[in-house]
Structure 1
Amino acid sequence: MHTSLPDFDMPDEEQVHLAAESFRLLADPTRIKVLWALLQGESSVACLAELAGVAPTAVSQHLAKLRLAGLVKGRREGTFVYYSAADDHVQSLLRQALFHVDHVEQSSSAG
């Protein structure tokens, strides 16, 4: 059926798996807060914990998972590590997710 569509291009299994894993990691309110804070600029664990309203140990655990997924990166300065969003794609992904939520909320309140 879809073979008749000349521009139809299904992503390969690895791409689908990695995208699903990224979405799974973003399916946590604390991680979204941490990423949003990092989109404003580089930050330490202590500052991120304060902004997200959670314990620094929890932020560290979330950052470790986000780092392994390639969504954040760390820069060591002496005994401190400063984190930032990995690239502009992370910013685009998070902004689109939040924009979608706003759009859905507006649509449901209008109807």
Structure 2
Amino acid sequence: MEIPNLTPAASERRKQERRTLRANAALRLSGATPVVVRTLDLSVGGMGVVAAINPPAGSRCTIGIASPAQPRGAIAVEIDAVVVHSIFSSRESGFKIGLQFGDLTQSAADAINRYLGS
């Protein structure tokens, strides 16, 4: 029996380094009430979260996070994003959602880069 190649296509591979980020955030889908989610990881291009909802791929949303404490304290940022994938994870007790960021504001990019150590 032949096993198919399980390596993701080049277009599906992460393009930036991600770093673990465990915190609560607020995910707001277009026209909906914000939902509290748990963050998994973060990069300058996107983040992974776990939620009780299963948004369809391609959904536009906003993610509100407080960047971890820095020399000047935590900075709250809201970032426009698109849902890339959402799949149920029994291990995480919710839907693992991959978000791809839209255009970052300078303050959001600075906060993420400080957290990533870039």
Query: Higher helix share goes to which structure?
Result: 1
Q: Flag the structure with higher strand content.
A: 2
